[in-house]
Structure 1
């Protein structure tokens, strides 16, 4: 059974549909589910004009970033961005200032796109299943599609790594949700309307940039220092890419030894989990963040998880904290 099938079988498709927001559909890594659904907009309530993908596959804030910055209705829903006149819908987008000529061109393109979508007051929005004429979901067809091998072998390889038994299942699930952009970062909470004040969007650690998964785990100076400490600890160098998916895809590929690569997958999971736990501690309990303590936690957690998954462990915690690569090599040779 493919990893996605295991998740669907355990959680149920209804849970997934209820808990994955519309904005998540744009993530390329979620194609296995969302390629079969499309949002059919009705009255437009509950659908963010700028942030939800209701007009094409990409949200308008990403497609027209300049216009989004100039809009006076950044957080408004579709039904709030116009009004019904008899049997027609008139869009009414207002700007903070008069648009420049090149901005007017983008605004005309935006207008041309949204005018193809009809807002119907009193008609609820709905999800449509692409594989039936009526738009109704079919469990049989869904299972058949989920059972199909992936067209992209590299993508399937990544998913197998995500669900590696080297870490606890809840940590593997967290990594999966991170790659899907499904964790409740501040940016995602803003998109879902949980956080209303845009002033609260910044990272809890650096307080300088918007907190999304890529910033929190890769770009924030706290995260970068932890990754550098891990590189020094393992005696290697690696590149942090612009997003979590690409970084994970390349992570650990610098070694041809499977047991060493497995160790690096453990480190990836441990770093993400440790950062997230520290982040939540600061958000909910105003806990202070000690960077040295975070690195020690990464060492302790990774040792505990590796040891728990090994039938026999021939190295100690002190050995692991000094040279994890040698520990994995020794353990492999003595199996």
Structure 2
């Protein structure tokens, strides 16, 4: 702790306010506003003693504030033999995790918990694929439309979809409504024996697939959903970065989708032990058997 400024400290058991805000008056008259804690005191007989430095003599009422500050700091005891470390104060052990951060934001009412996000993290797919799906649901993938909005692609530069060269490449377009992507989705629906209409926005598209059949069938369908958007996006990236051709053909992408979804289910879904041939020919039967 001695390497960070005292002003940025938040004391355990306090109101969660930084010291420079809680004791703003003292901060304003301090000559040590940016000093690390190591420069604001000294070790005396193995104990830490604070040494504050002020721009002027303190008024009587400021001395009372200083007493309050000193009292607040009584429980803060640097230890010479221990290294500095960051502590995540909302967790009992002090260690940071994404789950604890997300729970904290939920408890504070700072994030909306939707059915889509609850279902997403339960899908038996690789974490990088789920992370991509999460960004797609939030419309945060690096589509050309998003790059243009962030001024990474200048006004006037080409932002057309590489797959069809007809419309601007938005998240919804490249993954769902582009005619090349649409052909892939139509093949998937035919593979599963499903007839449906396609929403063009990512969240609506995903939520439409959350409750398909019994639990094991629904999970399998969400795995296929993830493999579809992942295969389409990888093909798009190959065209962008490697100038590849024919990587977005329906025949190639559908084989990638079948193979990836089968590998993920074999590795992560309990009871799924079917061959690739069985999965390719009748996916619903495989999933009903696994359930």
Is the counterpart of residue 146 in structure 1 residue 103 in structure 2?
Answer: no
d(CA) in 2 for partners of 1:182 and 1:302? 24
Q: Secondary structure at the match of 1:183?
A: coil
The match for 2:285 is 326
- Gapped regions of structure 2 (runs ≥ 5): 1-88, 91-100
Match of 1:245 among 203, 214, 218: 203
Q: Matches of 2:110 and 2:209 in 1, distance apart?
A: 21
CA distance in 2, matches of 1:193, 1:149: 31
For 2:121, which of 159, 163, 172 is the aligned residue? Answer: 163
How far 1:319 moved relative to its partner?
Answer: 0.3
RMSD after superposition: 2.3
Gaps of 5+ in 1: 1-138
Q: Distance in 2 between the 1:143 and 1:293 partners? A: 41
Aligned residues: 191
* TM-score, scaled relative to structure 2: 0.61
Higher gyration radius (CA): 2
Q: What secondary structure, in the 3-state scheme, does the structure 2 residue paired with 1:200 have?
A: coil
Equivalent pair of 1:214/1:244 in contact (CA under 8 Å): yes
Cα separation, 2, equivalents of 1:205 and 1:264: 25
- 1:178 is the counterpart of 2:136: yes
Give per-residue Cα distances to partners, 1:281-332, cap 9 Å, x unaligned. Answer: 0011111122201110000000000111034433100000001000011122
Secondary structure at the aligned position of 2:153 is classed as coil
Q: Is the 8 A contact 1:201 1:210 kept in 2?
A: yes
Give, in angstroms, the shift of residue 143 of structure 1: 7.0
Deviation at 1:280, TM superposition (A): 0.2
Q: Would the aligned equivalents of 1:239 and 1:247 in 2 still touch at CA under 8 Å? A: no
Residue of 269, 287, 295 corresponding to 2:254: 295
| Pair 1:209–1:303, CA change in 2 (3 A) | same
Alignment match, 1:219? 177
Residue correspondence of structure 1 range 302-317 to structure 2 within 5 A: 302-317=261-276
**CA offsets 1:77-132 (integer angstroms, 9 cap, x no match):** xxxxxxxxxxxxxxxxxxxxxxxxxxxxxxxxxxxxxxxxxxxxxxxxxxxxxxxx
> Which one scores higher on RCO, CA 8 angstroms, separation ≥ 6?
1
| CA-CA distance at 1:160 after TM superposition | 1.4
More helix by share: 1
CA contact (8 A) 2:116 2:210 kept: no
The CA deviation string for residues 9-53 of structure 1, in whole angstroms up to 9 with x for no partner, is: xxxxxxxxxxxxxxxxxxxxxxxxxxxxxxxxxxxxxxxxxxxxx
Question: How far, CA to CA, are the matches of 1:202 and 1:244 in structure 2?
Answer: 19
- Equivalent residues of 1:190, 1:201 under 8 A apart: yes
